[in-house]
Chains A and B, each alone.
Chain A
Amino acid sequence: MATTQQQPSSDYVTLVSCDGYEFVVRRSCACVAGALRRMLDPNSSFNEAVTGRAVLENINGIVLEKVCEYFYYNEKNKDARDVPDMDIPPELCLELLMAADYLNT
């Protein structure tokens, strides 16, 4: 929410995985991730910020889907007292860990 004070940019951004899957998520959710926040900052002149489309070369579609799920989970439980655990299949844990490190989430 904090980053959307300038309205010319859209409320939604597109995240593209390395294998071509596209996820359209709310900008406020995506900006939970530090790396995406900087990429999509409307004040910056990054290409991603202008087009509202960020290509993540090292995250595949399955993982990016989980990451997007996390963005919404985080947004939902921001001020919650009892945060429920998110469901993550065990086989994704390492890839998600790498993605989380990359995105700084």
Chain B
Amino acid sequence: MASEPVLPPLIAGGGDNSSLADSAFEGSSSDPAVFSSDDLRDASCDDYVSSHRKRLYRGAWWGLNKTRRKLRRTIDSGVFMGSEGTDGSADDVLEELHGRSPLSTGINGEVRRPSAQGGLDIFSLASQRRQIQTISTHDNRFHPYSPASIAPRIAIESRADNIIGRCLEGGVDRVDLSGQRLNFLSNSTISQLKHLVKTPQYESASLDSDSFESMIPSIDLQLQSNLLRSLPSALFQLEHLTILNLRYNYLSELHPAIANLTNLEELHLDGNDLRYLPYEILKLLGKDGKLRRLLLCSNPLLKLAAEPIAGQTGLLSAADAVAEVVRARAHARAKDAEKRESVPAGEQQPSSQSHPSSNQPEDWEPRHLISTSLKLLAIDGSLYTNPTSTITPPCPIISSSAGSSLGVATPGPPSSVFTSSSVSAAPSLFETALRVCHSNDALEHLPALLPLDTPESVSRALRETLRIKESEDERVCTVCGKWYLLPRTEWIEWWDCIPPPPGVPRIPPATVEEEVTKTIARAVPLIRKGCSWACRPGVPPRTEKAGK
């Protein structure tokens, strides 16, 4: 204790010390510090420790300037916060609230600012709730975006949530959500399935070396007989999805992200409103893909035979064009058959009686039959009409749900378009600017910043960009494989791409004509979109690296 160094004596507060401090700091180079209390009399740096010179104020800082305010209010309910203008009338508001609705007294202790509409809001909310309950019991086909649908949507969704939760707990990889009247499925519900882990079945397991089974789940998601109009994007991230049953829903488009489901073996799409499938589905159907069962019955698919197709030699009926393709193929096959003994690859009518199995004929692969002519889209994604030519495409315009329109079987665009400088592989400036908007964190506030006289095309494009960003929609050009926001070209290709049922003996068609009719009946329309006018049919995909 004795060895402890002696601290210098504290400067005692007092008037005398100020003169001492003054002399000590006289002549120092820096200016005296400025304090907020400097406007007080005799205030300076050296008074800092002498507290008695400061203005004494005890209380909260916000009361500092309002000390003369009359605080007459004595209500201390803990609910109301005093705010400007309502101090005097707080009593009235409280009475008003009590009179109108019993709900008003502090739901969950929440603090409500008393306002003129406060009581009304709560009142209408309560009545709305009652309404919603009645709706949910009687009507299940309401519009999905009306405010009244929110509560039932949550109820239905929570049911789906429960089922998925049970599957997760039990380690069951067959998730049955069929017939649940689901009209909406959120990303958060579906993405739980990512964490599904299979539980080993001990009772059936014997300890042979063969009995090792994979713990990687092969999810079988049954969503048939629901009211789905669109699918959540999280669904396309379930890489272990093996069977996806979407029968009898109201899907009008299948998202290209379906190609991410590389383990998909069965896809049931019967009884929807599909007019075409995305081109990307071919990735699942080819040699690399596993999809072996694709059911498409009773969909309003675009029919091949109905449309005349613009061929190289002018208009040509689709049947003729397909017949050419099939004849060429039959010819090639006949040559093949001469070489080999076995007759390969007869064609089978797609039937739903098949069973998924792996003995896929090796020589089967999707074949391109025919394409519609190209549909050029303007920079904002609307249909391009050549301003210099007066010919309007005399085509049946089929509007797709994405808002753009599809002309099926138009005569090709005037060749002058392609010689002009407008064909470029580079994205348009509009698209470039949209991409910058897309990567902007404040995208949702951007439409509000637009001037009042903004053209509709700009605000529409911005809204579309926002929608794309929110739904995490990844659009990739089917020709060059690049990411884009607004498509510039669109066309439909018919492919002979329904896998033949394995196990059924193959009967080669008797005549070429029979094969033609069967092929036409089986053809699936696939929509392709390109990111620039340079991405059009006949342009080889980037992987082939073919020069122009």
Mark A residues whose CB is within 8 Å of B.
Answer: 1-3, 28, 31-34, 37-38, 67, 70, 73-74, 77-81, 83, 85-86, 88, 90, 92-94, 96-105
Interface centre among A33, A70, A90, A93 (most CB of B within 10 A): A93
In whole angstroms, what is the CA distance A92 to B263 when docked? Answer: 43
Question: Are B429 and A96 in contact, with the CB atoms below 8 A?
Answer: yes
Contacting residues of chain B (415-457) with chain A, CB-CB under 8 angstroms: 419-430, 432-437, 439-440, 446, 449-451, 454-455, 457
Give the residues in chain B near A96, CB-CB below 8 Å: 429, 432-433, 436
Q: Which residues does chain B contribute within 8 Å of A78, judged by CB atoms? A: 423-426
Question: B429 touching A90 by the CB < 8 A rule?
Answer: no
Contact between B437 and A94, CB atoms less than 8 A apart: yes
- Does the CB pair B455–A101 fall under 8 Å? yes
Residue in B closest to A28 when the chains form the complex, CB atoms: B421
For the complex with contacts A37-B420, A86-B432, 13 further pairs of A-B residues with Cβ separation under 8 Å are A67-B429, A74-B426, A80-B425, A81-B545, A83-B482, A93-B434, A93-B437, A93-B440, A96-B429, A97-B434, A101-B458, A103-B429, A104-B379
CB-CB under 8 A for A34 and B449, given A81-B542, A101-B380: no
Question: Do the beta carbons of B426 and A97 come within 8 Å of each other?
Answer: no
Chain B 364-392 interface residues, beta-carbon cutoff 8 Å to A: 378-380, 387
Q: Are B461 and A97 in contact (CB under 8 A)?
A: yes
Residues A32 and B548 in contact, CB atoms below 8 Å apart: no
Nearest CB in chain B: distance from A57 CB, A: 13
- Which one, B427, B432, B436, B457, contacts A101 given CB within 8 A? B457
Known: A1-B421, A85-B435, A104-B379. A97 touches B458 (CB 8 A): yes
CA distance A81 to B424 in the complex (A): 10
**Residues in chain B near residue A28, CB distance under 8 A:** 421
Do A105 and B429 have beta carbons less than 8 Å apart?
yes
Q: Kindly list chain A residues whose C-beta atoms are within 8 Å of the C-beta of B43.
A: none
Looking at the complex, which one of A1, A3, A74, A100 makes contact with B433 (CB distance below 8 Å)? A100
Q: How far is the CB of B499 from chain A (nearest CB, A)?
A: 33
Q: Is the beta-carbon distance between A77 and B424 smaller than 8 angstroms?
A: yes
Shortest distance between the CB of A46 and any CB in chain B (Å): 15
Interface string of B451-484 (1 = CB under 8 A from A): 1001101100110000000000000000010100
